[in-house]
Structure 1
C-alpha cells in the first residue's frame, strides 16, 4: 500500500505542509508515500501531476490523502496511477458513491434525513425551488451542493428556518449560490433539519455543534472514529453495520449525529481519501489503523 499526498505549491518536491502531521504519521507507521502535483492534476496534465510517482512492478493499492478535486481529475488520477501499477483504493464509481450526496442517498436509505435534490442543469429558479420544498411544509432545512455546505456561515448561507418562508429561502439560497460561485458542484440539495443533541456553538460562526462523530469505514468495517469537534465527548454512536455494508466503496467516512428526540442519524458520507481528520483524531492512530488494514488490490 502506498499513500499519495499533494505536493506543496511552493516546494514541488515536498508534500503540502497542510498534511505535514499526516506525512509524519505515515512515516511512523512504516507506510510508503509519494507526491502528486495537485495543480497539474486539476489543470488536466496527469503526466506532470504524477511525474514523481514511481511505478510499481506489481499492482499496489494507493490511498490518496489530499484536497478534493473535480470528478474528471479523479478519473484521470485513477487512470494515470493504473498505468504505473497503482490501484486507487476507490475506483471512480466508488468515489462518486460516497463523495456526491445524491449518489450516496440510495445507500443511506432511511438512516438519513429527508432530502430533495435540484440539479443545476434543470434550473434553479425560485419557482422550481418553492415547488421542490413544498413537501417540507414549515420544517427547517439545510442547503448545500452535492459535496459541500457552508455550515460555518450557518445563519447566512446554510440554515433555513422554515421551508415555506419564501423570503428566508431566497435569502439563504441566494447567499449560498453567490458564495459558492464557480465552486458549486452539481446543484442544490435541501435536507430536513433534525434537532440534534447540543454540545455548544462555534464561537466564530454561531454554528450549533451537535454530538457528532466521524467514522472511517474500510471494506465495510469500522476502522477508526472520533468526535467531529474539539469539544470532548465520550458517547460514541452505534455500529450502523448494515449501512456500512451497503455503500459500494472500500474506504469512506460516515458522519453520525445523535437526535435530540433519541437515536442517531447519518449526516453524510465522504470518500475517506478526501475526508479531513477530526481535530481530536490523532494522525498517528489513523495511519496505524491504515497500516493494519493493508488493503489488497482488487481483480479486474
Structure 2
C-alpha cells in the first residue's frame, strides 16, 4: 500500500504539517509514502504535474485536503498512468463525498433532505416546497457553513420565502467558487451531544472517536455502530467516515457521511491507529495479490 499525502507548499519535499504525523506513522509501519501537490490537483488539468514526484507502484490511499469530485477523477487518471491505483475509485469518491450519492441508502438514519441542481431561486423555492414547512438547515452537496449558523445555515421557517432566500443567498456568497452541486435543505432536528466521528474501512467500523470540531469530547458509551452497519456496508465504499449526534429524544442520528481520505482526523486519535487500520485492510496479502480496477 502507498499513502499519498500533500506536500508542504513551501517545502515540497516534506509533507504538509497537517498530515506529517500520518506520513511518519506510515513509514514506521513499513508503508510507502509519496507526496503530491494539492494546489495542482485542484486546478483543471493540473493532476499530471501534481503527481510527478510519485514513483512507487501499487494500490494507494490518499490522506489529504478535500478536492472536488471531478478533480479527484483527474487525479486518479494521472496516477493510473503511473501504475498506481487509488483504492477508492472516482465513482466511489463522489458517492461518499456528495450527499446525493449516499442519501437514499442512509435516509432512515439522517434528517430528511431535498436538493437542487444549481443555485437558481426557482429551484430553491421548489425544494422548499418539497421539504415542507418548518425549520431547516442549508448546505451544498459537500459542506455546510455551520460556523455562520444564523446567517447562512439555519432557516427558522422554510415557508418564509424572503427570509429563507436571504440565508441561501448568504450561503452562496460565502461558499463562492467552492459551492458544489446545489442547495441541500435538511429538516432541522435538535441535538444534545457533540458529534462523534466513526471510521469505516471495508464496510466495517474500525474506529469511534471525537469529531475534529470537539477533539476533547469523549464519545458517549451509549453509541452502537451496529445501527449503521448494514446500510453503510451496502454502499460498497472502501473508506468512509460517518458523523453522528444524539437527538433530543435519545436517538442517534447520522449528520454526515464523507470519504475517509479527505476527512480530518482529530488529534486525540493517534495517527498510527488510523494508518495501521488502513494497512491491515488494504495492503495486498501476498505476491499473488492484484490491484482492483479503477472503474
The total of aligned residue pairs comes to 282
In 2, the alpha carbon distance for the partners of 1:250 and 1:21 equals 23
Q: Judging changes above 3 Å, is the alpha-carbon distance between structure 1 residues 101 and 113 closer, same or farther for their aligned structure 2 residues?
A: same
> For the Cα contact (< 8 Å) 1:237–1:257, is it kept in 2?
no
Q: 1:32 matched to which residue of 2?
A: 32
In 1, the alpha carbon distance for the partners of 2:160 and 2:108 equals 26
Give yes or no for the alignment of 1:232 onto 2:218.
yes
> For the Cα contact (< 8 Å) 1:213–1:237, is it kept in 2?
no
In 2, the alpha carbon distance for the partners of 1:264 and 1:106 equals 18
Q: For 1:19, what is the secondary structure of its paired residue?
A: helix
More strand by share: 1
Q: Write out per-residue CA displacement over residues 115-167 of structure 1, whole angstroms, 9 at most, x where no aligned residue.
A: 010110xx521x44233213444422110111111111122211112212233
In 2, the alpha carbon distance for the partners of 1:69 and 1:107 equals 24
Q: For 2:12, what is the secondary structure of its paired residue?
A: strand
Q: For 1:134, what is the secondary structure of its paired residue?
A: helix
Q: 2:292 matched to which residue of 1?
A: 298
Q: 1:272 aligns with which of 260, 264, 269?
A: 260
- What is the RMSD of the two structures over their aligned residues, measured on CA atoms? 1.9
Q: For 2:115, what is the secondary structure of its paired residue?
A: strand
Q: For 1:191, what is the secondary structure of its paired residue?
A: strand
How far the C-alpha of 1:54 sits from its partner, in A, is 0.6
Unaligned runs of 5+ in 1: 198-209
In 2, the alpha carbon distance for the partners of 1:45 and 1:135 equals 39
Q: 2:9 matched to which residue of 1?
A: 9
How far the C-alpha of 1:102 sits from its partner, in A, is 0.9
Q: For 1:62, what is the secondary structure of its paired residue?
A: strand
Q: 1:185 aligns with which of 177, 180, 185?
A: 180
In 2, the alpha carbon distance for the partners of 1:115 and 1:279 equals 31
Unaligned runs of 5+ in 2: 285-290
Q: Write out per-residue CA displacement over residues 192-245 of structure 1, whole angstroms, 9 at most, x where no aligned residue.
A: 111112xxxxxxxxxxxx332111111111121202123233325222111121
Q: Which moved more, 1:15-24 or 1:217-226?
A: 15-24
In 2, the alpha carbon distance for the partners of 1:245 and 1:131 equals 33
Q: Judging changes above 3 Å, is the alpha-carbon distance between structure 1 residues 131 and 46 closer, same or farther for their aligned structure 2 residues?
A: closer
> For the Cα contact (< 8 Å) 2:139–2:183, is it kept in 1?
yes
